[in-house]
Amino acid sequence: MNSAVGTPPGTSADRAVTLKHGAGGRAMRRLIEETLTAGYAALATPGGDRVIGLAAMDDGAAIPLGDAWLVVTTDAHVIHPIVFPGGDIGRLAVCGTVNDLAMMGATEPLGLTCAMIVEDGFPRTELERVQRSMVEACREAGTTVVTGDTKVMGRGEVDGLVLSTTGIAVTRTIVSDAGLRPGDRLIITGTIADHGIALMAKRHGLAFDEELRSDVAPLNGLVRSALAAAGGAIVAMKDPTRGGVASCLHEMADKSRTCVVIHESVVPMTAGVRSAAELLGLDPFQIANEGKAIMGVRGDDAAVACVLTALRAHALGRDAAVIGECVDGPAGRVVLDTGFGRRLMSEVEGDPLPRIC
């Protein structure tokens, strides 16, 4: 147990990848930028400069294909517990991939791939359950899994089940997450923090009066109707998954070189999530969502109303609301108007730790 003694303290996090690098905040973006994307940029592809690739750090890549774009995205999924209120790892995998495509404007997924790593001893019934919910999620998204791969590893070599999915789609118009400019309005498609709070409550065995359920859902249908109604007014899109709304907005503001103001009182949140977050000392803006999108809309009130109406007409967008706007100001700054005053909206730093009192 004394292995720590004798090594200089305080630097291990820089030498090794730690859990903080997986929390979806700045640490993760730095790891990706400094290590995981290095070298690729120098290599040529037939698509040339027009490829929206790793450097864009967007939800997926877009490769020019005639007068359209081939959009491709890939995800790995590990989650504890594997089954949670509102979904399971299978539903999460399909929805995560479909949503990453949708956030690029590609709402018709041509097909998905699924690689599976299973731990020796994993119950068949659970695997069947995961399989069924993947099929169901594919049905909701109007796509299917077209190829896959399966590996089994020894006990303890992998935690239960790991899924990796890839999705492809073709679209004529790309929506990036960097398209904001002052004057644009920001819309969220529904209540925030449902997924992360439901998981945390389940993990810690906390029971609340109101049932907390993950919002995990495929958003391509919702996005399709919003894009159709908007007629080009949706200029930026991103889904606030890990790191929550805060990281999502920071990334959009950073890449767009603009300043964002959010009005807390109009951000939709269920009473259950609000109570649970207050009780656990967690900031709902930093908590993951798996069935929501943030959209930047350009144009007058009528243009914004048009997008809102389209969103609210869809079952997954009933609670959609305008939550803020882009303003002139320091690039990358995200301000929260609390109704009482103003402050910075902070990004998650490492794993959120419960407060003491």
Partner 1 sequence: MSELATFDAARELKFRDPARARALADALERLCTETGRSPISVMHVCGSHEQAIAKFGLRAVLPRALDVIMGPGCPVCVTDLPEVDEAVVLAQDGVRVATYGDMLKVPGTAYSLADAKGAGARVDVVYSATEAVELARDTTEEVVFFASGFETTAVATAAIILDDPPPNFSVLSAHKYIPPVMEIVAEMPGTRVEGFLAAGHAATITGWAIFERFVERHRIPVVVAGFEPLDILAGLVKLVELVRDRTPRVVNMFPRCVTAGGNRNAQEQLWRVFRTTGGRWRGIAHVPNGNLRLRDEFSHVDARTRFRIDLQRLWTHAPSALTQLCICGDIMAGIASPSTCRLFGRECVPDSPVGACMVSSEGTCRIWHQYGGHPQL
Which residues contact partner 1 by CB under 8 A?
A: 1-6, 8-10, 12-13, 18, 20, 27, 204, 209-210, 265, 271, 274-275, 281, 335-344, 346, 349-350, 353-357
Residue among 153 and 344 whose Cβ is closer to partner 1: 344
What's the maximum distance between 2 C-alpha atoms anywhere in the chain?
66
Neighbours of 36 (CB within 10 A): 11
CA distance 112 to 109: 8
Those residues whose C-beta lies under 8 Å from the C-beta of residue 136, and which sit 6 or more positions away, are: 91
CA distance 294 to 267: 12
Residue among 120 and 211 whose Cβ is closer to partner 1: 211
Please give the distance of CA 30 from its chain centroid, rounded to a whole number. Answer: 18
Q: To the nearest whole angstrom, how small is the minimum distance from the Cβ of residue 333 to partner 1?
A: 8
The owner of tokens 């009130």 is 301
For residues 161 and 151, is the Cβ–Cβ distance under 8 A? no
Residue among 27 and 178 whose Cβ is closer to partner 1: 27
Q: To the nearest whole angstrom, how small is the minimum distance from the Cβ of residue 266 to partner 1?
A: 12
**Element holding 164 (H helix, E strand):** strand 161-171
Question: DSSP characters for 296-343?
Answer: EE-S-HHHHHHHHHHHHTSGGGTT-EEEEEEESSSTT-EEEE-SS-EE
Residue among 108 and 337 whose Cβ is closer to partner 1: 337
Q: To the nearest whole angstrom, how small is the minimum distance from the Cβ of residue 22 to partner 1?
A: 13
Encoded tokens for 22: 């997986």
Q: To the nearest whole angstrom, how small is the minimum distance from the Cβ of residue 344 to partner 1?
A: 4
**Element holding 250 (H helix, E strand):** helix 244-256
Residue among 142 and 329 whose Cβ is closer to partner 1: 329
Q: To the nearest whole angstrom, how small is the minimum distance from the Cβ of residue 12 to partner 1?
A: 6
Residue among 183 and 354 whose Cβ is closer to partner 1: 354
Q: To the nearest whole angstrom, how small is the minimum distance from the Cβ of residue 29 to partner 1?
A: 13
Residue among 104 and 323 whose Cβ is closer to partner 1: 323
Q: To the nearest whole angstrom, how small is the minimum distance from the Cβ of residue 192 to partner 1?
A: 16
Q: To the nearest whole angstrom, how small is the minimum distance from the Cβ of residue 339 to partner 1?
A: 4
Rg value, the chain, Cα: 20
Question: Is the C-alpha dihedral spanning 241, 246, 247, 249 positive or negative?
Answer: positive
**Element holding 198 (H helix, E strand):** helix 194-203
Instruction: Name beta bridge partners: 260.
Output: 326, 334
Residue among 228 and 271 whose Cβ is closer to partner 1: 271
